[in-house]
Structure 1
Amino acid sequence: MTTIQLSNLFIASLSDPKKLTAALQLKKGKAFLYFIFILLISAIPAGIETFSTLSNINQAGQEIVKELPPFTITNGTFTSKETVKNFTKETTSLTFVFDPKGTDSNAEDQLSNRLIGVGFLKDGLHFLTPFQENTYEYQDLEGMDNQSVENFLGVIKQLGFYSSIFVILFMTIILTLMNNLLYTVFANLITALTRRRLPFGQVWNMTLVASTLPTLFFVVTTIFGIQINYQTQLTLIVTVYIYYLALRTLPKAEV
C-alpha cells in the first residue's frame, strides 16, 4: 500500500501538481521514505563523480606498482638491485611521487597538487591529506617492499570508498534538509497570502513532493555534464510554484 501511494505521488509530482494535496495525508513513516527517495536522487551526481575518481585512483595504483623497481627497506635504508628512476603519477585526486634518492628538488611540493599525496622521498614516506601531513622515516618502515606498497595503495582505495560514501550521505542529508526547509518557509508564506491554513508538517510534505520535478531535472543535467547556475534558487521557484498549483485546489480559511 505504501509503495502504491508514494508511486502515485511521484507520478503526480511530474504530471499533475493538483494531486499533490494527497501528500497532506502522509504519515511520518511515509514522508520519511519519500525524503530518503529525494535524498538518493540528489546523491546520484556526487556518487558517479566519486566512483569515477576512485576508479582513476585504482588504475593509477596499478600503474604505480608496475613502475616501481624491486626494493626493500633494510636498516633504515632504501635499497634496490635495479637502477632507481624517479617518477610521478597523478589522477584527479591522487599524486604519487617516487624519488627516494632525492634527485628532484620539487618532489615534496608536488605532493600537495591533489587531494591525497603519497611520496617515497629521500627522508622517508610522506602521506598528505587535506586534514594532516605525516612523514614516516625509513628506519620506521623496516622490511617494506613492493608488495607493501601495493597493499598500502589498496588500503587508500578502501578508505577512500568508505569515507566518500559517508561524506556524500552526510552532505546530501544536510543539504536536502536545509533546502526543503527553505522551500517550506516560502510555501508557508504563499499559504498565508492565499488565505489557507495548513500545519507546518503538511506544508513540509507537500513541498518535499513538489521538489521532485526540479530535483530530477538538475540531477539529469548534471549527469550529462550540463552545468546550470543558481540551481537552488531555480528549484525553489519551481517547487513553490508547483506547491501553489496544488494549494489552489484547497478551500480558503473562513474569516
Structure 2
Amino acid sequence: MNTFTLFKHAIFQFSELYQAKKMSFGKVILYVIFLSVILALPITKQVFSIVQDIKSDGQKIAEKLPDFKINDGKLETAADTEGFIYQTNSIIFTFDPEGKRSLTDIEADSVGDAVSVGFLDDEFVVVLPSSGTADALFGTSQFEFPYNKGTLDGLSSQELKRTLDESNVPFWLKAVVFLVTLYPAFINLIINLLLITVGANLYSKVRLYKLRFMDCLKIVVYSATLPVIISSFLQFFSRPFDDSFLIIFVTLLIFFFATRNEQRQEPPVI
C-alpha cells in the first residue's frame, strides 16, 4: 500500500481506506502537509487577486494625483493645490496637503475590504481592513510614516506613478505569501483532524473495532482528502468561509464507510 493508491481510494473507493492504518506516521504527516497545501491554494489566489486589484486601482488614483514632492520632511505642492478623496473597489485614497484630516479620519473611512491610504500634511498613513489576519501578521492594522523621519524623502508624484506602472509581484514575495497562508491552514487542519479522530475513536470503541487511537488518526487523515478538495474548490469560487464543519462532518461519514468491515472484538461477558 502506498500514498498514491490511498489517494485514489480516498476519491473513488472509501471502503479501502482502512488500509491507511498500515502507513508509517512520517508518511501520514507528509500527507497532512499535502492536504494543507490544497487548502492554502484558494487563499493564496485571493491574496494575489487583492494585490492585483490594489495595483490597478492605484494606477487610477495616480492619474488624479497633483504634482507633489516630499522634501526635507515636508510635503511640497503648488500653492493652489487642493485636497481630495477618491474611492475605488479596493482603496479609499486621501490627498490632504492642507491638514484638514487626521489618522482618525482615515481610519473611519475604512469600510469592508478596502484599504485606506492617505498623504496627509505631515505623514503618509495606511489603514488595513479590520481583521484578525492583519493583527496576527503585523501586530497592528494601521501604519504611519511621518515625513520628518526622512523615510519618504525624495518621493514625488511622478516617481509614484512610474513605480505603479512598472511594479510586478516578485516570485519570492509570492512564495512568502504562500508560506504565510500555508501555516494557518496546516494548524487548522491538524486541529480538525484531532477532533475528528476523537469522535472516530469513540465510534470505534462503541462498535468494538480493534482500532487504536493512532489507527483511527491515520484512517481519518486519508478520509479527509475529498472534504479538503471540495472545500478548496468551493473557496476558489466564493468568499473565504469557515470550512471546519464541512471537513469534520464529511470526513466522519467517510470514516464510517472505511471501517464498516473492520474486525470486531468479542463483547465482554457479563
TM-score above 0.5, yes or no: yes
Residue type of the alignment partner of 2:26: G
Task: Give the SS at the match of 2:208.
Answer: coil
Deviations 1:192-211 (A, max 9, x none): 11101223222111101111
Q: Which residue of 1 aligns with 2:186?
A: 173
1:162-241 → structure 2 map (5 Å cutoff): 164-225=177-238, 231-241=243-253
Q: Which residue of 1 aligns with 2:137?
A: none
Q: Which residue of 2 aligns with 1:10?
A: 7
Task: Indicate conservation of the 8 Å contact 1:57/1:91, yes or no.
Answer: no
User: Out of 146, 163, 173, which is 1:136 matched to?
Assistant: 146
Task: Indicate conservation of the 8 Å contact 2:74/2:147, yes or no.
Answer: no
Q: Does 2:58 correspond to 1:66?
A: no
The two structures, once aligned, show a CA RMSD in angstroms of: 3.4
Deviations 1:196-243 (A, max 9, x none): 122322211110111112222222223233888x74334322211211
Task: Indicate conservation of the 8 Å contact 1:116/1:128, yes or no.
Answer: yes
TM normalised by structure 2 equals 0.76
How many equivalent pairs are there? 250
**Aligned pair in 2 of structure 1 residues 172, 253: CA closer, same or farther (>3 Å)?**
same
User: Out of 24, 29, 34, which is 2:26 matched to?
Assistant: 29
Task: Give the SS at the match of 1:39.
Answer: helix
Q: Does 2:249 correspond to 1:247?
A: no
Task: Indicate conservation of the 8 Å contact 1:71/1:146, yes or no.
Answer: yes
Residue type of the alignment partner of 2:41: I
Q: Which residue of 2 aligns with 1:45?
A: 42
Q: Which residue of 2 aligns with 1:145?
A: 156
**Aligned pair in 2 of structure 1 residues 181, 119: CA closer, same or farther (>3 Å)?**
same
Q: Which residue of 1 aligns with 2:118?
A: 119
TM normalised by structure 1 equals 0.80
**Aligned pair in 2 of structure 1 residues 125, 36: CA closer, same or farther (>3 Å)?**
same
Rounded to whole Å, the distance in 2 between the matches of 1:215 and 1:95 is: 36
Residue type of the alignment partner of 2:105: D
Task: Indicate conservation of the 8 Å contact 2:106/2:117, yes or no.
Answer: no
Q: Which moved more, 1:176-185 or 1:162-171?
A: 162-171
Which sections of structure 2, spanning at least 5 residues, go unmatched?
Answer: 129-133, 135-139
Which sections of structure 1, spanning at least 5 residues, go unmatched?
Answer: none
Compute the displacement of 1:109 (Å): 1.4
Rounded to whole Å, the distance in 1 between the matches of 2:121 and 2:68 is: 14
Q: Does 2:106 correspond to 1:110?
A: yes
Rounded to whole Å, the distance in 2 between the matches of 1:226 and 1:142 is: 39
**Aligned pair in 2 of structure 1 residues 232, 164: CA closer, same or farther (>3 Å)?**
same
Deviations 1:124-147 (A, max 9, x none): 222345504424035734433235
Compute the displacement of 1:39 (Å): 0.7
Rounded to whole Å, the distance in 2 between the matches of 1:227 and 1:145 is: 37
Task: Indicate conservation of the 8 Å contact 2:57/2:90, yes or no.
Answer: no
